[in-house]
Structure 1
Amino acid sequence: MKIKSSTLYVILFFLMFFLHFVIWQILEIGFETTFVKYYLFLTLLFMMVITILSIIKKTFPTYIGFAFMGLVMFKLMIMFLVMKKLNLSEVPNYKIHFIVPYLVSLLLETLYSVKLIQNGEVGVTEKDEKNQ
């Protein structure tokens, strides 16, 4: 049984969430509602990026890189708005607890988009060879 690459990245994202939640509980930081709200929003953005990249792969496979760059800029802009709205700076060591998960999700999205681009290039090369 082969796992699709998008499923693997989603599993890794949720594994990161559970690991971070366990660390959060061990350290007894508090602010659980802020933590859950942040991760709900981060999960929504992560799933949005993965879904849009998959759609772009099927419709316009040569523009995956541009779509990824645009989605990263959009995600960063939205994250600044949410950070102010949730008052994340009130949480002790908020930079570690909120920026690191954002960067890990960004890394997973980057790896997913690179995989899509690499698979897309193989398909485009085969189509070009058939046309010539």
Structure 2
Amino acid sequence: MFFVHFAIWQVLETGFETTFIKYYLFLTLLFTMVITILSIIKKIYPTYIGFAFMGLVMFKLMIMFLIMKKLNLSEVPHYKIHFIIPYLISLALETLYSVKLIQTTDTEVQEKDEKNQ
């Protein structure tokens, strides 16, 4: 997605390429952080994955708005579109990963319950 966005930006010759590179790098860093923390929480507290996901999404959104101001993303034309589309795609991937973790945790708990009976 980064390459498509960057290619379109190059064709339009509007500038701000370094801003988008920094934005995508930070978004990738946050995405990796969320996935890693969710994986750790699954091992330590498997029943609280959903709560951790909601908290991490709020934390990520807060950090994204702080970084958006620091990167001066508001100077970019149509910056809201350029901000929200990559964010929503990463959020969708995080949501799918969280759902997968919750489903595998539920099946593991059911198997343990069946063995204990």
TM range (shorter): over 0.9
Q: State the identity %.
A: 84
Q: Which of the residues 64, 67, 71 maps onto 2:56?
A: 71
Counterpart residue identity of residue 83, structure 1: M
Higher RCO, 1 vs 2 (CA within 8 Å, ≥6 residues apart)? 1
**Distance across 2 between alignment mates of 1:123 and 1:17:** 37
> Which residue number corresponds to residue 13 of structure 2?
28
Counterpart residue identity of residue 86, structure 2: P
Q: CA deviation at 1:53?
A: 0.7
Q: CA deviation at 1:26?
A: 2.3
Q: Which of the residues 91, 97, 101 maps onto 1:116?
A: 101
Consecutive aligned runs of 4 or more in structure 1 exceeding 6 Å deviation: none
Unaligned runs of 5+ in 2: none
Q: Which of the residues 52, 55, 67 maps onto 2:40?
A: 55
**Distance across 1 between alignment mates of 2:71 and 2:23:** 8
How many residues are paired up? 117
Q: CA deviation at 1:29?
A: 2.2
Unaligned runs of 5+ in 1: 1-15
More moved, 24-33 vs 97-106: 24-33
**Distance across 1 between alignment mates of 2:4 and 2:75:** 22
